[in-house]
Amino acid sequence: MKKQINRNNIWTEAFVNQLVYCGIKNVCLSPGSRNTPLTLAFAKQKKIKKFIILDERSSAFFALGLAKQTGKPTAIVTTSGTAIAELYPAILEAFNTKTPMIICTADRPPELHNCGTNQTVNQQNIYSPNIKYFIDAGLPELTTGKINFLKQTAVKLYNLSAYKSPGPVHINFPFRKPLEPSAITDTIETSKINEFLSHRNFLSVNSKTSTINKKIFNTIIKNEKGIIYCGGGTTDKIFTKLLIQLSMKLNYPIVADGTSSIRFGKFNKTNIISNASAFLSSKKFNLKFSPELILQFGYAPTSNVLLEFFKNTKSKKIAVNKLGELHDPSRTTEKIIKTEPVNFLKEFLSTIDAEKIKFTNNKRWLKIFQNAEKISESVKQNFLQKADFPFEGKVITELLKSLPNKANLIIANSTPVRDFDLFTAPSNKKINLIFNRGVSGIDGIISTAAGVSASSKTPTFLVTGDLSFFHDLNGLHTVVNNSLNLNIVLINNNGGGIFRMMPVSNTLKHKYFNKYFITPHNIDFAFAIKAFGGNYFKIKSWNELDKQLSGTAKLRGLNIFEIFSDSEKSFKIRKSYKEMIIKAIDKLTDEY
């Protein structure tokens, strides 16, 4: 029996069916004409959750949040032309954080290129060099060979993105008109259609990793004055447990970056140092207690203090990560071990136990860092207790008090992430932290948070500055249009307050600095929030902030809590805080 079909639609359905078999669960779709076959193929698939997002840039960041939360690739569909360029900021972030995404772009056929056709650009590997893999699907051909090749391509895209080379991958689909299913292009046997639309079992996962050698093992154990640095990208429960065990064995302090999640959860925090970005500002301490070795897990530090510490210390540096990548802007890391961190820790601990090695000489070294942490934490808590509303650094610590256990917390870049690193203390609460620290852009953060919320049953909170909020206003529509629950703490200091922490603030006259760097926008966000259908709350005191945040469990939908702050005053307060820390740590150093 023969059936009349549209070849574009059979082609895309074969591709989507194979992706579903591989494990795709979510797709973000933006409206367009040329992507009609792709859109309908995903729409027909009952096993995929569809998110319709009008703005392509918001769609890509939403997909990023979904993938960060689930750990699985999210598919993105766009039409041709400038729409595909809107995806690029999120692709840059995904590429640098190894976040899996499968980008599916529609395109004009070859004969419409280079002749002035409307909405036509060169889409061939347009995201290079910030994409893990690119392929052009070619025009649809309804042959067994071509269909099988397309299915194999779907498997390759999924396998690369999810396992072999985590990150974004791109497939470009050129289509000739007609694009709609009702427009007939071919008549073929029903049995052939069924064959085309069935999935194939091509999927295989290679997860082999290298192991440590004896030389590396000996290098670590012979250096008594060591530090374990734990950066972003380290959130696994087993990893945390094993890392603490290693710290206990070696008597090495764990310097925990704010982006690492290791400050949160019910486990032994005796060796965890959360105030290093404060007390390492002391030149006396750095000079007297320089480590012999730094063992690094995760991404580079958030704070400039730690970045400078990495750059200036003469210690040996060994990094451990799955892909064997350099996460050290100072380029002073001597050895990178390409392996799963959990495998490294298991092997290292078993070797220590097998050889019955005891580490007793470096307990004094660990105690020094524990004392510095204790003193810094005491200074910090006293300081925050006295901080007047609305000091920006205290906003985040007040939020953490009100967060429910297992909540999702997204921290925007620029000032909020630095304050988070500087002021948050270890807590027994389990918090799921999400950051866009791959390229640290200020765009797309609302949409990313929306993607996290869409893939989680626990409450989701975002802390953002006003410029990041402004850059992703369309993300508010993404939240409301998809009936999501998201709570946003908006710290509004009317411009780029981060520049007050940079040298340019000391080298320019006030009028130039304010006009070209602080760039006050003077936007009344309350009107925009209400226009998008969000709930708006203006916060005027610490008590009101605590009260409103404590009541979020009863709230649904989009809720924004705006706090107006003065970036100049907050800068001076941070400066005085660091001066207090340095004074206390210098005194501790003199006592040794």
Per residue in 98-140, pLDDT (tens digit) is 999 999 999 999 999 999 888 889 999 999 999 999 999 999 9
pLDDT, position 484? 97
From the list 170, 163, 160, 135, the residue with the least C-alpha distance to 63 is 170
Is residue 264 predicted with pLDDT exceeding 50? yes
Helices 190-197 & 7-22 angle (0-180, nearest 10): 40
Amino acid 362: pLDDT: 77
> What are 265-308's pLDDT values in tens digits?
988 899 999 999 999 999 999 999 999 999 999 999 999 999 99
Read off the pTM.
0.93
Of the candidates 211, 543, 263, 278, the residue with the CA atom closest to the CA atom of residue 389? 543
Q: How confident is the model at residue 212 (pLDDT cuts 50, 70, 90)?
A: low
The amino acid that residue 413 corresponds to is N
Q: Longest Cα pair distance anywhere in the chain, in angstroms? A: 91
For the four alpha carbons of 504, 508, 511 and 516, in that order, the dihedral sign comes to: negative
Position 130, amino acid: N
Q: What pLDDT is attached to residue 203?
A: 47
> Residue 309 in contact with residue 279, Cβ under 8 Å?
no
